Structure 1
Amino acid sequence: MDHGTVGSAQSGRLLVEVREEGSSAVVTPAGELDHHTADLLREPLDDLLAKGFSRLVVDCSRLEFCDSTGLNVLLGARLKAEAAGGGVHLAGMLPVVARVFEITGAEAVFTVHDSVEAALAD
């Protein structure tokens, strides 16, 4: 675990790192987000929301794949964060992942930023 990392979870195909940035939490999934790995992202998102972080930034710059199960994890976190007065911001999506959000229309319900820095500044 990195010194700047609050926590991390790893499977063979997905590593999730979490860090605090002021009143926001930055969650970085790296690898493939699918049916087999979705809980590795769902659990830290739920934990952060339970700890009172209602503004979550998901750094997608290392996310190589996202299927409908992964998309549902993010949509579920968005609903919970918005109910708590915050939201889920997506940052740095690779084209292959951005395409999933575009095709499904999910990009319309998330605030999407070019970078984590831009998301934190918003």
Structure 2
Amino acid sequence: MTKQGLTVTLSPEGSEHPVLRVAGDLDFHTSPRLREALESVTFAAGGGVVLDLSGLAYCDSTGVTVLVAGYRRAQAAESRILFAGLNSDLLQMFRILGLDQAFSFYPDPDEAVEALRRH
């Protein structure tokens, strides 16, 4: 298995419902990039952020820890973080871990943004 890096981009900046696009491998070495990006996002009460994980190829326990920390930060701010575009293998991993009981998953980022708008 060839490991790739991780890219995290925020779009559109300043949006009411920003989307963080995560692509590559989320592991011990790359998770600080996502942690920094999540810490830079403002979670406002009643608002939310979408994590577009459609480009995520791999996620280890360190990556899961960063995602859980982002979820907890959103909860503490009375905000939401929605997950979109997970491939079937990663979605199955989240289900096995029981995170489907806490996280909200959407097929694509547009549906997740729409869910935030309706909320």
TM-score, reference length from structure 2: 0.85
**Residues 79-118 of structure 1 aligned to structure 2 (within 5 Å):** 79-118=72-111
Offset, 1:20: 2.9
Offset, 1:106: 1.0
Give the aligned CA root-mean-square deviation in angstroms.
1.8
Which consecutive residues of structure 2, in runs of 5 or more, have no partner in the other structure?
none
3-state SS of 2:11 partner: strand
Write the letter of the residue equivalent to 2:34.
L
Q: Does 1:18 align with 2:3?
A: no
**Contact preservation (8 Å) 1:24, 1:57:** yes
Given candidates 58, 62, 72, the residue that maps to 2:55 is 62
Distance 1:36 1:83 in 2: 27
Matched positions, count: 110
TM-score, reference length from structure 1: 0.83
Query: Aligned residues: percent identity?
Result: 32
Distance 2:42 2:100 in 1: 21
Relative contact order, CA 8 A, sep 6+: which one is greater?
2
Write the letter of the residue equivalent to 1:112.
F
Which consecutive residues of structure 1, in runs of 5 or more, have no partner in the other structure?
1-11
